[in-house]
Structures are given as C-alpha cells and as structure tokens.
Amino acid sequence: MADAIFPRIMGASTTKEAWDTLQDEFQGTVKVSTVKLQKLRRDFENLKMKDNETAKDYYYRIREIVNKMGAYGEIIYDKKIVEKILISCTEKYDALISVIEETKDLDTLSLTELMGSLEAYETASEEKDTWYLDSGCSNHMTKNESIFCSLDKSKTRVKIGNGDFKEAVGKGSIAIDTKKGKRYINDVLLVPNIDQNLLSVGQMIEKG
C-alpha cells in the first residue's frame, strides 16, 4: 500500500497537500472496511441452521463469519455465539433447547458444553429412528417415550433377546417411518434400560 501511495505524494508541494492525500487514502480504506463489516454483521444476524444440517456444520458456518469479522477488528465472544445457536437451530432441537434454557445458566454456558449437548442429542435422535428385528425378545420395545402416540403407564417384566429380563413401565402405540410410508405398531413396551429399539419377530408374526 505504501508503494502505491508514495508516487501520489511525491508531487505534493506542501506538507498539508501530502497529508490530505494520505487522509483520503486512509478514509477510503476505512469506508471499504466498514461496508464489508456491515455486510458480515447482517450475514451473522440472518444466519439460520439449514434443514438436515448437523450442529457441527452449522457451527463451522458461524465460525467462518465470526473469523472474517475478527479480521476487520470486531470480536464476537463465545457467549454471543451460544445465544445465536440457541435461537437459530431448527425445530427438531426445540425440546433440547427448552431443557437447556430451563436448567442451565445461559450466562455461563460454554460453547463447548452446548455443542456437546447438541451432538449427543443428534446421536440419540438417530438411534431413536433405528429399529432392529429380534427373534429372541418377547415384545416390541423402546426406551424412547417421546415416540409414543398413546401410552398406558404400568409396570411389568419383559424378556429381551439375550435372555435377560428388564422392567417395562408402560405399553402403547408408536408410529415409525418405513419405505412404504408411516406405519403404526401397537403393544409396544416402554423399557428405559435397553440400548436399542427392538421389534419382536414373534409378536409381528402373531399380529400378522
């Protein structure tokens, strides 16, 4: 930049004329930077998570803009990024965010803690949507109460595929997505202490 300005001030006949040239150059640079920073601010404010975008990918998009803002002298602290993520995630995170807002101190919630919660929630959601056929378990069963269309709370013991017995705390109907569309399954047990969603082959045959 200095090499570009020097030829312009060489012809200045007075110090004031040279200073005015430098000032014009500086103000022009500041104006360009201000315009670019304003655009980045708008991009940051308007940023929202895309459908089917992971929390990590969304965070990377936010961080890219924040880093560019930092290059123009504006520092965005983690607290503001936390607030941004909480208000701009897609609806599938609503249940988790409600819990976070009710149980956490948002003034001290770290970005690392928030991202850990979001990623763990994604993993749990993926598991919730996966079902396994099991020829050894006596009943359909799941640990995810949120997927029941109807649920009657009652306790009973149920046998799982490895021969162990677990306590079921309710029975009801669920809806699952299949290649042929949504299907409803009745008499599904709510078993908090299992690792997977299980469809009993015996029960399916019995129900036709």
- H-helix or E-strand spanning residue 81: helix 78-88
Quote the pTM value.
Answer: 0.55
Which of helix, strand or coil describes residue 134? Answer: strand
CA distance 119 to 111: 12
Give domain status of residue 148, yes or no: yes
**Which residues, at least 6 apart from 68, have a Cβ–Cβ distance to it below 8 Å?**
40
Domain that holds residue 167: 131-207
The tally of domains found in the chain comes to 2
Q: Which amino acid, 154?
A: S
Do 117 and 143 fall into the same domain? no
Torsion of CA 122, 128, 131, 136, to 10 degrees: 120
**Which residues, at least 6 apart from 151, have a Cβ–Cβ distance to it below 8 Å?**
145, 170, 171, 172, 190
Domain stops at, among 102, 126, 150: 126
- Greatest mean pLDDT among 58-62, 113-117, 196-200 lies in 58-62
User: What share of the chain has pLDDT > 70, as a percent?
Assistant: 81
Give domain status of residue 169, yes or no: yes
Domain stops at, among 93, 126, 159: 126
Give domain status of residue 186, yes or no: yes
Do 100 and 136 fall into the same domain? no
pLDDT of residue 1: 47
Domain stops at, among 89, 108, 126: 126
Give domain status of residue 23, yes or no: no
